[in-house]
Chain A
Amino acid sequence: MVEVSTPTKWALRLVAVGYVFFLVAWPTGLLATRTFEGGVSNLVETLADPDVQSALALTGRVALLAVVINLLFGVTISLLLVRYEFPGKRALSALIDLPLSVSPVVVGLSLVLVYNSRDGWFGPSLSDAGVDVIFHTPGLVMATTFVALPLVIREIVPVLTEIGDDQEQAARSLGANARQTFWRITLPSIKWAVVYGVVLATARSVGEFGAVKVVSNNISGQTQTATLMVEEKYQNFAQDQAYAIAFLLVLVSIACLVIVAVLRPSSEK
């Protein structure tokens, strides 16, 4: 491997570390110091507010549902994409990535156009049947599921491809049925990929803002998620509370990153 000269090495190191420090590390650190400027009391008082509690609970509920749905369908789609051949497979595999490059606002708009109860494609009939989507929790769950959809699949597909299907075929030839093969052979070998996918999807689901903003009417205590509350608090000059909620969200996302960083090398070696 070619070594670069020492001055170049230091220059590159300085650029990389400096750029990341000024763009990410310092600002994120400042958020933490601002949260605790008045001691721990700010965080404690904010958390005692029932509206804040209900926003956090709503975010938790929505994220949990979105992650479970994405887990079930993510594993299914990954198995279908890797283990089977069918017409339209390449198109499906490309379309799966679409949610990653579509603006969250566009995601919200698309759901509103189909599911709003006034003139959506399915909205009015669903509303007659007693299911309200837009401006209610189901809409929040759908928007969150939409944006986090590719994450589980992107983690599982490469692993499934890599391990091949030798063991599965061996199990089948020894008389295991499809369910036994899945639970005893396939799932244990993609276990870590599933865990990463779930962690990443959780981080994304907890933090979703744009898509949720469009499908929520932002009523405190009903459809206001934690991220929406950060915006409202900040714009209403309740900046301390905004910082406190934001700090909690930062903790969740950093925890997700650390989990992935700690787990990953152990399975890749």
Chain B
Amino acid sequence: MSSALSGATIDTTGPASPKGRRPGRAKRTTPRNTLTGGAGLGLGITMLWFSLLVLLPLSAIVARAAAGGWDSYVNVLQNEQTWAAVVLTVRSAAIVTVLNIVTGTIIAWVLVRDRFPGKAILNVIIDVPFALPTIVAGLVLLALYGPNSPIGLDWAFTPNSVLLAFAFVTLPFIVRTVQPVLEELDADVEEAAASLGASRFTIFRRIILPSLFPAIIAGATLSFARAISEFGSLVLLSGSRPFETEVASVRILSFIENGSYASAAALASVLLAVALAVIVVLDLVQRRVARRG
């Protein structure tokens, strides 16, 4: 299904270029640069656009943060309120990621291996959190877990609301990375294991789980990255109380609104570093999967 919806496609960009030393004096089969005139121009314009829109602005954050030197980072993170926000964000994101690893894998399993009426609807609903505007996600969660809750759970403005919002927006990630892998899984191996007397649990633990592992890691990384950067769904739901429900993104916004761009940039560059780390981890996982073939 629509795994790209959750930004979770494990894609392979182009054929892998031949690795290792080329034998003898044989010529390279894939030249380093195959751009023709028109394509070169296209690349130039595209890179200019990409730099103006993405690369320069993001480097402006790093430059602004680095302008204050190492001290600016220390000062920003030593502020008790900011530190509390960072701790809350990372802790909640970690809890939700663990929750997602369990529920995401179960949902993917049910979607692939089980048959029941309404499964197609379940499959579409999984993507709702990704398509819904984040501010609306907050409003939607308030309807069931807010002041007028029909089930009597008023979690608005409590730390639980942060977990709730994170769980909502990260729901599709692990489901959508695990699902395609599970669909492709070779049933022969499982049957062979079963015919050799392996129990169902053993088959799951020794055969299925290892194949799903890279997909679960990829999904978990995306889900963690999404959670620590979440903003919109918390605005109405968590109330952003300092030391209680204020997360890192909200803290950055209040720095921006107070005009202290330097502090905002310092905290933002910490988040940016995490985002980059996530991309590197994903790239490595993809390469490992591609190598295994």
Evaluate contact between A15 and B103: CB separation under 8 angstroms.
yes
| Known contacts A109-B261, A258-B124; is-contact A209 B133 (Cβ 8 Å) | yes
Evaluate contact between B131 and A203: CB separation under 8 angstroms.
yes
Query: Once bound together, how far apart are the Cα atoms of A211 and B171, in whole Å?
Result: 22
Evaluate contact between B57 and A80: CB separation under 8 angstroms.
no
Evaluate contact between A34 and B61: CB separation under 8 angstroms.
no
Query: Once bound together, how far apart are the Cα atoms of A27 and B190, in whole Å?
Result: 39
Evaluate contact between B141 and A93: CB separation under 8 angstroms.
no
Query: Contact partner of B232 among A8, A81, A104, CB < 8 A?
Result: A104
Interface residue tally on A, bucketed by range: 35 or more
Evaluate contact between B32 and A114: CB separation under 8 angstroms.
no
Query: Once bound together, how far apart are the Cα atoms of A22 and B248, in whole Å?
Result: 27
Which residues of chain B have C-beta atoms less than 8 A from A185's C-beta? Answer: none
| Known contacts A5-B200, A12-B114, A20-B122; is-contact A246 B136 (Cβ 8 Å) | yes
**Shortest Cβ distance from A203 into B: residue:** B131
A254 at interface (Cβ–Cβ under 8 A)?
yes
Which residues of chain A have C-beta atoms less than 8 A from B61's C-beta? Answer: 106, 109-110, 113
Q: Mark A201-212, 1 if CB is under 8 A from B, else 0.
A: 001001111100
Evaluate contact between B232 and A114: CB separation under 8 angstroms.
no
Which residues of chain A have C-beta atoms less than 8 A from B181's C-beta? Answer: none
Evaluate contact between B33 and A209: CB separation under 8 angstroms.
no
On A, residues with C-beta under 8 Å from B are: 1-2, 4-5, 8-9, 12-13, 15-17, 19-20, 22-28, 30-31, 34, 73, 76-77, 79-87, 89-90, 92-95, 97-115, 121, 142, 145-146, 149-151, 154-155, 157-158, 161, 178, 196-197, 200, 203, 206-210, 213-214, 227, 230-231, 234-235, 242-243, 246, 249-250, 253-254, 256-258, 260-261, 264
For B, the interface residue count at a CB cutoff of 8 angstroms equals: 107
Query: Once bound together, how far apart are the Cα atoms of A208 and B256, in whole Å?
Result: 18
Evaluate contact between A105 and B33: CB separation under 8 angstroms.
no
Interface majority SS on A: helix, strand, loop or mixed?
Answer: helix
Query: Once bound together, how far apart are the Cα atoms of A213 and B234, in whole Å?
Result: 14
B280 CB to nearest A CB, Å:
8
A118 CB to nearest B CB, Å:
10
| Known contacts A85-B31, A151-B4; is-contact A114 B57 (Cβ 8 Å) | yes
Q: A101-B226, A261-B1 are in contact. List 7 more A-B contacts (CB 8 A).
A: A20-B122, A30-B144, A82-B13, A95-B54, A101-B275, A113-B60, A227-B232
B249 at interface (Cβ–Cβ under 8 A)?
yes
Which residues of chain B have C-beta atoms less than 8 A from A13's C-beta? Answer: 110, 114, 116
Enumerate the 9 nearest inter-chain pairs by beta-carbon distance, A residue then B residue, closest first. Answer: A207-B133, A103-B229, A110-B57, A253-B131, A30-B143, A209-B232, A113-B60, A1-B187, A16-B110
| Known contacts A101-B275, A230-B136; is-contact A27 B261 (Cβ 8 Å) | no
On B, residues with C-beta under 8 Å from A are: 1-2, 4-5, 7, 9, 11-15, 17, 30-35, 38-39, 42-43, 45-47, 49-50, 53-58, 60-61, 64, 103, 106-107, 109-111, 113-114, 116, 120, 122-129, 131-136, 139-141, 143-145, 150, 164, 167-168, 171, 187, 190-191, 193-194, 200, 203, 222, 225-226, 228-232, 235-236, 248-250, 252-253, 256, 261, 264-265, 268, 271-272, 275-276, 278-280, 282-283
Query: Once bound together, how far apart are the Cα atoms of A230 and B137, in whole Å?
Result: 11
Evaluate contact between A104 and B229: CB separation under 8 angstroms.
yes
Which residues of chain B have C-beta atoms less than 8 A from A73's C-beta? Answer: 46, 49-50
Evaluate contact between A19 and B279: CB separation under 8 angstroms.
no
10 contacts between A and B (CB under 8 A): A2-B190, A9-B114, A101-B279, A103-B252, A103-B268, A110-B61, A114-B56, A207-B131, A257-B5, A261-B124
Query: Once bound together, how far apart are the Cα atoms of A132 and B171, in whole Å?
Result: 38
Query: Once bound together, how far apart are the Cα atoms of A257 and B2, in whole Å?
Result: 9
Query: Once bound together, how far apart are the Cα atoms of A82 and B102, in whole Å?
Result: 35
**Shortest Cβ distance from B99 into A: residue:** A19
Evaluate contact between A105 and B54: CB separation under 8 angstroms.
no
**Shortest Cβ distance from A200 into B: residue:** B5
| Known contacts A113-B61, A261-B124; is-contact A149 B53 (Cβ 8 Å) | yes
| Known contacts A13-B110, A101-B279; is-contact A24 B125 (Cβ 8 Å) | yes
Query: Contact partner of B139 among A5, A157, A230, A256, CB < 8 A?
Result: A230
Evaluate contact between A210 and B232: CB separation under 8 angstroms.
yes
Which residues of chain A have C-beta atoms less than 8 A from B106's C-beta? Answer: 12, 15-16, 19
B203 CB to nearest A CB, Å:
6
Evaluate contact between A161 and B226: CB separation under 8 angstroms.
no
| Known contacts A4-B200, A253-B131; is-contact A101 B278 (Cβ 8 Å) | yes
Query: Contact partner of A102 among B58, B60, B190, CB < 8 A?
Result: B58
A226 CB to nearest B CB, Å:
8
Which residues of chain B have C-beta atoms less than 8 A from A264's C-beta? Answer: 1-2
A230 CB to nearest B CB, Å:
5
Which residues of chain B have C-beta atoms less than 8 A from A24's C-beta? Answer: 125-126, 128-129, 168, 171
Evaluate contact between A257 and B222: CB separation under 8 angstroms.
no
| Known contacts A13-B114, A231-B236, A249-B136; is-contact A154 B231 (Cβ 8 Å) | no
Query: Once bound together, how far apart are the Cα atoms of A110 and B225, in whole Å?
Result: 18
B215 CB to nearest A CB, Å:
16
Which residues of chain A have C-beta atoms less than 8 A from B139's C-beta? Answer: 31, 230, 234, 242-243, 246
